Amino acid sequence: MGKDVIIACDFPGKAETLEFLDKFEGKKPFVKIGMELFYAEGPEIVREIKARGHKIFLDLKLHDIPNTVKSAMKVLSRLDVDMCNVHASGTANMMRAAIEGLTRKDGSRPLLIAVTQLTSTDQDTMKSDILIDKPIDEVVMSYALNAKNSGLDGVVCSPLEAEKVHKTCGSGFLTVTPGVRFADGEIGDQKRVMTPLEANRIGSDYIVVGRPITKAEDPVAAYERCIREFTQEAV
């Protein structure tokens, strides 16, 4: 899989999601299904969107004991998604168990990506709530390396961290980056943002874009603009 734009389909239900995807007519964007939509509609929504020909990132961020994660991943492997994820803080044992569960009998499996530190957690919260004193950047890189050494394919990270993740874990280790906004767009509740063009230049492999596309007056045009900026030859 190459560089691509993943649309975060953060909708409350099936009707809104399919109405949104219908706007794309012949196009089949890569879509992210998160907890809201999955918990509302269950696995059927994944099957339905897959049957329409979209690639799917199932963003459920698993984090539990290794055996439970392995069994859950075994179930998810049957859904034929293209990418799914776990929390790196679940430890290397949990990540290895996730890979085992996800790998089908024929050896194939969806890409598995780790969440390092959520971008909603900052240095102060890390210290006060989870008693981690180390610099956040060091924590993110250490979690990324742990994910790589456990056999995972990449991490979800801030676009500001993508370059360093590639330096630490190699250019083949995928960086999936949310927090993307157009230069002339609203930032909303995202704090540290980059444009698709900047994310392209710093070498993100996938950008995850929600509201700049889903809330746009013309979502298809906004998606095409993202693709254009993100995949054009970096200059």
> Least distance in Å: CB of 69 to ligand C5P?
19
Minimum Å distance from CB 82 to ligand C5P?
16
Spatial separation of the C-alpha atoms in residues 133 and 105, rounded to whole Å: 42
Question: 98 with 146: CB under 8 angstroms?
Answer: no
Helix, strand or coil, per DSSP, at residue 44: helix
Identity of the residue, 77 or 214, whose beta carbon is nearer to ligand C5P in the bound complex: 214
SS3 of residue 39 by DSSP: helix
Bridge partners for 208 per DSSP = 6
Cα R_g (the chain), whole angstroms: 17
- Residues at the site binding ligand C5P, with contacts judged by CB under 6 A: 8, 10, 34, 118-119, 156, 178-179, 190, 208-212
**In the block, residue with structure tokens 């569960």:** 101
Q: By C-beta, is 98 or 140 nearer to ligand C5P?
A: 140
The minimum distance between CB 228 and ligand C5P, in angstroms, equals 17
User: Which one, 76 or 140, has the nearer CB to ligand C5P?
Assistant: 140
Q: Dig out the tokens for 168 from the structure.
A: 């630490």
Q: Known catalytic residues?
A: 61
